[in-house]
Structure 1
Amino acid sequence: MAHDTLPHPVKTPRRDRPPAPAPRHRQFWPRRVNPLAGLGSVLWLAVVIVPIYAMISASLTRQDEALGRNALQPPTRPTLDNYNTVLNSGFGHFLANTAIVAAAVVGIVLVLCTPLAYVAVRTRTRWSGAAFRLFLLGVAIPAQAVVVPLYLMIAKLNLYDSLLAVILPTAAFAMPVSVLVLTGTLRDISEELYEAMALDGASPLRMLFQLTIPLAKGGISTVVIYAALQAWNGFLFPLIFTQSDGPRVLTLGLFNYVSQFGVNIPALLASVVLSGIPIFAVYLVARRALVGGLMGVGGK
C-alpha cells in the first residue's frame, strides 16, 4: 500500500527586520528666537495689563484721593469701601437682570442660528444661497439706524420697559455674525462623515445633533462668547427701551455713580471690575473649546 507523502513546508529565509528608529528627543526650546515677536508680545501685554491695573488700583483708592494721584501709582491707603458701596446700591439686582438678558440672548442665538447655518451649508441650492446672503446684510445695518422703528414696534407690542425689549433686538443683531461664524465652522466638517451617516440611514435632524453639533463646539463656543458680550456690554437698547429701575442692567447701573456735581470714580471703577468678572469666567470655561475650534474640526 502506497503511502501518500505530503510535501514538506518550504522554509522561507528569515529577513532581518530593520532596526527601530531611535527615539527623538523632545526639544523644549525652539532653535530660533524671534526677538521682534517677543517684543511685540511684551508690548501687547503691557497695553492690556496696564489699564486693568490702573482700574483695579483706582477702585481701591478713597474718593478724596482719586483725582490727585497718578493713575499708575498704587493706593497709599487701600480700602474696600468702594466695593461695599457698589454692592449696597442695587448691584445684585442689575447683575441678575444682565445675566438673564445674556442667557436669553445666547439661547435664542444658538437655537436659531445653528439650524440656519446647517441648512445653509447642507442645502446647496440657488435659493438657500440667496437667503444666506440676504441674511448677512444684517451685518451692514447699524443699530442706531433702526432705533426709531424698533421703538415703535416695542411700544405697540407693550414690551417697553421690560427685559424682553432688550433681549429681542440684542439677539436679532447678534444673529448675522453668529450665522457667519457657524457657517464657516460647519464647512470644515468632512463630507465623508455625512455620507457615512447617510449610509446608516440617519436623517438630517439626527446628523445635526449627533455629528454637526459635537464637531462644531469651537464655533458654538465662539458664538456663545460673542452673543454674551453683546448682551453684557449692551448700552443703546437698555437706554432707549427701559426707563425704571426694574429692568435696569449693569451698563445703566453705572449712572448711579454719576451726578450733576461730580463722578464717584473709585465706585464707578469698582462696579466695572465686578461686572467684568462673570464674563471673564465664561471665557475661561469656553476657551478650550474655542481654541479647538480655531484649529479646525473634521480632520481638515
Structure 2
Amino acid sequence: MAVSTRPAPPISGEPAPVRHGGRRHGPASPRRGNRLGGAFGWLWLLVVLLPIYWIVITSVKTRATYYAQNPLVPPADPTLDNYRQVFAAGFARYFANSLVVTAGTTLPAVLVSFMAAYAIVRGGAASRFLRTVNGLLLMGLAIPLQAVVIPIYLIIIRMRMYDTLMAIILPSIAFAIPLSVLVLANFIRDVPKELFESMRLDGAGEWGTLWRLAFPLSRPALVTVTIYQGLAVWNGFILPLILTQSPERRTLPLALWSFQGQYGVNVPAVLASVVLTTLPILVCYAVGRRQLLSGLTAGFGK
C-alpha cells in the first residue's frame, strides 16, 4: 500500500507554514523596532532640550554664581532678581507693543486672505480679474522684505506715520497676505464641489456659503496660517528697527537687542528677557498644536 507524502493540513488555530524558495518556515517573527532610529531621536531631543535647560537655569542665577559655577548645574539659591530687572527696564510696555502689532497684523491679514482665497477658488476660473489678482499675489511671494525696505520707509514718511505702531502693522499685513492666500486657497480647493452645490440648492448665497461651509471646514488651515503669521510678526526685527525710533514704540525683538547691548555683561538678565520673550510662543503652540499639525498635514492622505 502506497504511503502519502503530502504534509498534513494545519490544525485549526495554528498558522500555516510559509514557503520561501521551496523551504518551509514557521510563523513570521515580530518586526523588530528601529533601535538606531530611536537612539538618534533621543540624541536629537537632548540636543534641543540642552540649550533650553541652560537658558532657564541661567536666568535664575546671580552674576557671581554664573561665572563661578558649572553652567549646567542648577543654582543652589535661585533668584528672580533678573526678571525684576527686566520688568524694571520696561518689558511690560514692549510686550504690549508686540501684542498690539501681532494682533493688528495677523487678524486682518488672515481675514482678508480667507475671503480672497475663497473668491479665487470659486470664481477664479471665470473671472480674468481674479486670475490677475491671484498672479499678483503669487508674485508677491518672490519679493523679499529686505528689497523694499527703503520704499516702505519713504511711503511711511510721506504718510506721516513714522514712529507709530501702525507703521509696522500696515507693511506686515501686506507681506502676510500672499502666503496666507496660497495656503488657504489650496485648502478650500480640496473641499468637495458637491458641498457647495448643496448649499446653493438650499438657497444660501456666496456670503452664507463662505461663513457656514468654507469657514468651518477651513479651520485647521486658518489656525495654521494664524500661528505662522503671528510668529513671523512677533519675531519681526527689520520693520520695527527701520520704522520706529522712540523707546516707547519698541517691540520685543528690538527691545531684546537694545537690552542685550545695555546689559551685555549680565548674562543671566539677558537670558531672563529671552525666557519672557519665548513664553508667548510656547503658549500659542501648546494651545493650537493639534490644529496646527492637522493643517500642515491636510491633503497628504487624499
More divergent stretch after superposition (151-160 vs 195-204): 195-204
In structure 1, what is the Cα distance between the partners aligned to 2:31 and 2:132? 50
Please give the TM-score of this superposition, normalised by the length of structure 1.
0.83
1:31 is displaced (CA, Å) by 5.6
Cα contact 2:227–2:284 (8 A) shared by 1: yes
Which residue number in structure 2 is paired with residue 217 of structure 1?
A: 219
Which residue number in structure 2 is paired with residue 101 of structure 1?
A: 101
Gaps of 5+ in 1: 1-29
1:255 is displaced (CA, Å) by 3.5
Which residue number in structure 1 is paired with residue 12 of structure 2?
A: none
Q: Please give the per-residue CA displacement for 1:157-188, whole angstroms capped at 9, x wherever unaligned.
A: 01100000111111211221111211121122
Query: Equivalent of 1:290, from 268, 292, 297?
Result: 292
Cα contact 1:170–1:230 (8 A) shared by 2: no
Query: Equivalent of 1:136, from 110, 134, 138?
Result: 138
- The count of aligned residue pairs is 270
In structure 2, what is the Cα distance between the partners aligned to 1:294 and 1:262? 39
Cα contact 1:257–1:267 (8 A) shared by 2: no
In structure 1, what is the Cα distance between the partners aligned to 2:107 and 2:240? 19
Q: Supply the AA of the counterpart residue of 1:181.
A: V
- Name the Cα RMSD after superposition: 2.2
In structure 1, what is the Cα distance between the partners aligned to 2:243 and 2:167? 6
1:144 is displaced (CA, Å) by 1.0
Q: Please give the per-residue CA displacement for 1:77-112, whole angstroms capped at 9, x wherever unaligned.
A: 422111111122211111111101111111111221
Cα contact 1:154–1:165 (8 A) shared by 2: yes
Which residue number in structure 2 is paired with residue 167 of structure 1?
A: 169
Cα contact 1:188–1:296 (8 A) shared by 2: no
1:64 is displaced (CA, Å) by 3.3
Which residue number in structure 1 is paired with residue 200 of structure 2?
A: 198
In structure 2, what is the Cα distance between the partners aligned to 1:48 and 1:182? 31
More divergent stretch after superposition (251-260 vs 200-209): 251-260
Q: 1:270 to 1:184 in 2, by over 3 A?
A: same
More divergent stretch after superposition (273-282 vs 120-129): 120-129
Which residue number in structure 1 is paired with residue 122 of structure 2?
A: 122
In structure 2, what is the Cα distance between the partners aligned to 1:257 and 1:80? 17
Q: 1:264 to 1:139 in 2, by over 3 A?
A: farther
Cα contact 1:171–1:227 (8 A) shared by 2: no
- Aligned-partner SS, 1:246: helix
Q: Supply the AA of the counterpart residue of 1:81.
A: D
More divergent stretch after superposition (189-198 vs 117-126): 117-126
Matched, 1:41 2:56: no
Cα contact 1:98–1:232 (8 A) shared by 2: yes
- Aligned-partner SS, 1:140: coil
Cα contact 2:121–2:185 (8 A) shared by 1: yes
Q: Supply the AA of the counterpart residue of 1:189.
A: V
Please give the TM-score of this superposition, normalised by the length of structure 2.
0.82
Query: Equivalent of 1:266, from 260, 263, 268?
Result: 268
Matched, 1:228 2:230: yes
Cα contact 2:224–2:296 (8 A) shared by 1: no
- Aligned-partner SS, 2:247: coil
